[in-house]
Amino acid sequence: MRLLYLGDVIGRAGRSLVFEKLPELRRSLKLDFVIVNGENAASGFGITAKICAEFFEAGVDVITSGNHIWDQKEIKNYIDGEARLIRPINYPRGTPGRGSVLVQDARGRKLLVINVMGQIFMNGLDDPFAAVEAALAKYPLGSAVKFILVDIHGEATSEKMAMGHFCDGRASLVVGSHSHVPTADARIFDGGTAYQTDAGMCGDYNSVIGMERTEPLQRFTRKISTGRFTPALGEATLCGVFVETDDHTGLAKRIEPLRLGKYLKEHMPVV
């Protein structure tokens, strides 16, 4: 099975590039499944029902999120009715939406997508490891499902890496989101789980993690706020992770970063 995960989509620049490039990427990489982190897709803060529909139309199968999932008020009503949009699984019981989703690809193979948020330097949610453990125990890889992805949305690289080792042999891919900077550590762990600490963002890298530079620089240099953060609208770059797995075990055979755009050195997997 071939899957592409695209990191945090930032505002209009990121959305437009995803919509433009994804149909061809599905063909050229012979993708069975596409997952996008969309929590910054609406002007950098949250996501809307309209944007979700545009992602699905472009070829996205599941949208993950993180700490900005609730920034657009309409999403609290929308998320309960759209299983393909998920929020971190370790939100307390009673929170709208769901933290994982079981889906099928075009060939009928089952995939489990889990979204979880770290605790270090993040909102105080429930134990991420216990939440992921419960989901993995319910759907054994290779028998109940053919692919399991864990999107760990967090600040600390150590916590993300610990989650990768925690899931090793039980998930196909553990990939980090939230920092908006792609890490150079794509690899397969000893147990067969593919891993990358952060996939990076889909947005304008001539920015401060996707935001227009003026306001972040003002806050860093003068320690005062003069306005809102707004997404940079220059030429965007796609960043993500391509994974190929064994259909029998669900474990990874190959992982490669994907970078397509102006400001980072491009890397495109070849199939």
Cβ pair 1, 105 in contact under 8 A: yes
Catalytic residue (choose from 68, 153, 178, 180): 68
φ and ψ of 125, to 5 deg: -95, 180
Q: Which residues contact 128 (CB under 8 A, 6 or more apart)?
A: 88, 89, 90, 116, 117, 118, 119, 152, 154, 159, 163
Neighbouring C-alpha atoms within 13 Å toward the C-beta of 34? 24
Q: Is 165 known to be catalytic?
A: no
Q: Find the helix packing angle between 49-58 and 11-28, rounded to 10°.
A: 20
Q: Which residues are catalytic, by number?
A: 68
